[in-house]
Amino acid sequence: AQSVTQPDIHITVSEGASLELRCNYSYGATPYLFWYVQSPGQGLQLLLKYFSGDTLVQGIKGFEAEFKRSQSSFNLRKPSVHWSDAAEYFCAVGPGGYNKLIFGAGTRLAVHP
Amino acid sequence: EAQVTQNPRYLITVTGKKLTVTCSQNMNHEYMSWYRQDPGLGLRQIYYSMNVEVTDKGDVPEGYKVSRKEKRNFPLILESPSPNQTSLYFCASSPSSVQETQYFGPGTRLLVL
Task: Pick from B102, B103, B109 the residue to mutate for testing the A interface (most A CBs within 10 Å).
Answer: B102
Residue in B closest to A39 by C-alpha = B106
| Longest alpha-carbon distance in chain A | 44
d(CA A32, CA A93): 6
Q: What is the pLDDT of residue A2?
A: 79
Residue in B closest to A51 by C-alpha = B99
Q: What are the backbone angles phi and psi of residue A69, rounded to the nearest 5°?
A: -60, -40
- A5-34 per-position pLDDT tens digit: 999 999 999 999 999 999 999 887 778 999
| A99: pLDDT strictly greater than 60 | yes
β-pair type (A10-14, A107-112): parallel
B4-13: string of b/e by CB count within 10 Å (b at 16+)?
bebeeeebeb
Is the backbone of residue A41 left (phi > 0), alpha (psi -120 to 50) or beta? left
Å between A71 CA and nearest CA of chain B: 22
Q: Is A56 on the interface with B (CB under 8 A)?
A: no
CB-CB neighbors (< 8 A) of A96 in chain B: 99
| B87: pLDDT strictly greater than 60 | yes
Residue in B closest to A4 by C-alpha = B42
- A63-98 per-position pLDDT tens digit: 999 999 999 999 999 999 999 999 999 999 987 556
For residues B91 and B72, the answer to whether their CB atoms sit within 8 Å is no
Q: Is the Cβ pair A100, B45 closer than 8 Å?
A: yes
Pick from B76, B55, B21: nearest CA to A99: B55
Report residue B50's pLDDT band, with 50, 70 and 90 as the boundaries.
very high
Task: Pick from B41, B99, B108, B109 the residue to mutate for testing the A interface (most A CBs within 10 Å).
Answer: B99
CB-CB neighbors (< 8 A) of B98 in chain A: 32, 94, 99-101
Lowest average pLDDT, out of A54-63, A86-95, A97-106, goes to A97-106
My answer on whether omega of the bond before B39 falls inside 30° of 0, hence cis, is no
| A4: pLDDT strictly greater than 60 | yes
